[in-house]
Amino acid sequence: MQGNYRTTKFRGKRIDNGKWVSGSLIVSNFSYFIVVSVSTFNASSTTLISTMTYHEVHPESVGECSGLKDKNGKEIYEGDIVKVRNGATTFESYFIGDVVFENAKFGYKAVKFEGSYPPHIPKKNSVVSLGTSEMIEIIGNIHEHSHLLEVQA
């Protein structure tokens, strides 16, 4: 059987060492685990060897992969903080926001603006499409860099 399907990938911050890990998500008895699967092929014996490692992660750090990459080729996850170039103008202007998954789609909630020309500001709490990857740059995540979303008074 052949068809189109998408492998859902998640990331989370490990409880044991604080490092980020990505793979499949398993939730069991209120604990969250990211499963990392590694396959190696032994050409001489034509054997495929697969190993799986389970890492318990902080539940609040878990985010789903959007399937998109930023302008530097880095995978974009729910909870990332992105800097998105405003494509509606030729001026250097950017929105800063956090990546969310709402209403069955990925987008970002624009929190602030940087640049020389004020663009149309999206409504508060509205989800804006991520658009094209060459206009997006990951600059942090909400778990370690929340200060990037602070708006100056």
Find where tokens 């911050």 sit: 13
Separation CA 57–CA 147 (nearest Å): 23
More confident residue, 32 or 41: 32
Phi, psi of 61 (to 5 degrees): -90, -10
pLDDT mean over 95-117? 86
Q: Tell me the CATH architecture of domain 65-149.
A: Roll (2.30)
Number of DSSP helices (H) and strands (E) in the chain, helices first:
0, 11
For 121-134, write each residue's pLDDT tens digit: 666 667 888 877 77
Q: Which H/E stretch holds residue 146? A: none
pLDDT mean over 60-85? 94
For 41-57, write each residue's pLDDT tens digit: 777 777 877 888 999 99
pLDDT at 72: 94
Question: Out of 7-16, 59-68, 107-116, which region has the weakest mean confidence (pLDDT)?
Answer: 107-116
Cα→Cα distances 90→85, 116, 119, Å: 10, 10, 11
pLDDT at 1: 45
For 60-69, write each residue's pLDDT tens digit: 999 999 999 9
Q: Is residue 19 over pLDDT 80? A: yes
pLDDT at 48: 76
How high does pLDDT run on average in the chain?
A: 85
Phi, psi of 137 (to 5 degrees): -135, 130
Most confident of 86-95, 99-108, 131-140: 99-108
Give the pTM. 0.82
Separation CA 65–CA 74 (nearest Å): 11
The domain segmentation of the chain, as residue ranges, is 10-60, 65-149
Separation CA 57–CA 15 (nearest Å): 5
Q: How many CA atoms lie within 13 A of 56 on its CB side?
A: 6
| Beta sheet of 136-141, edge-to-edge order | 128-129, 105-115, 93-102, 80-85, 136-141
Name 129's bridge partners.
Answer: 107
